[in-house]
Structure 1
Amino acid sequence: MVDHRELFEDVTEALARAGFDTTPGASPLSIGRHPEGVVVGWSPDVEADGPPSGLARAAVVGAAALVLRERGLLVTETGEGGLLVRWAEPVTVPPESEPEAAPEQWWG
């Protein structure tokens, strides 16, 4: 498995700066390693009035995705309702070639 330690630290820092509780174990927000990058999920405890609605989950995960995209990371949704975060691949633009010189015209 590829170790995405730097990406893991970058994701954790970005979310913490945005106000998310990233304390391992104490927070319902989970940040974990994945073979392709880092996985972010949200699993709140069930409270007396039941689990949070799907809208609450979508809001929290959507906010996390926004923070990470603003950081320049690639974020895709997982099938489990979490996020897969990867480094954005640099965009390479081919160098512009010099325009071909127009052939000289001889007017005779």
Structure 2
Amino acid sequence: MADSSELMGLLSRREAEIVTLALLGTPNTQISIELQISPRTVEAHKQAAYKKLGIHSVNGLLRLFKEPEVLETHPSPESLALTQLEARIRKLELKVAKLTRQLLQSNNVEP
């Protein structure tokens, strides 16, 4: 049987994030809030991960990843939340820059 890091390597970044949170017992609704995606998207990523891993449920995940190392080698919920916050900040910075350009253009001012 492959080790946890090899198994996680089969998954996309998002699938690995969701699988890690699921292994920590996080419900889909909470995962969707933390990752700012819909619960249906969480379920779709879980199903894609299950297919890649050859399992059918969270119980299959728990059996597959019974070694504790999986939780040490992948992001914690706190680091995932921080990553999401950083992404939101970057989006806001881009939006502010765009609005500033639009304002300057509407006033016929060169940046």
Give the TM-score of the pair, scaled to structure 2: 0.35
Give the TM-score of the pair, scaled to structure 1: 0.36
Q: Based on CA coordinates, which of the two structures has the bigger radius of gyration?
A: 1
> Greater strand share, 1 or 2?
1
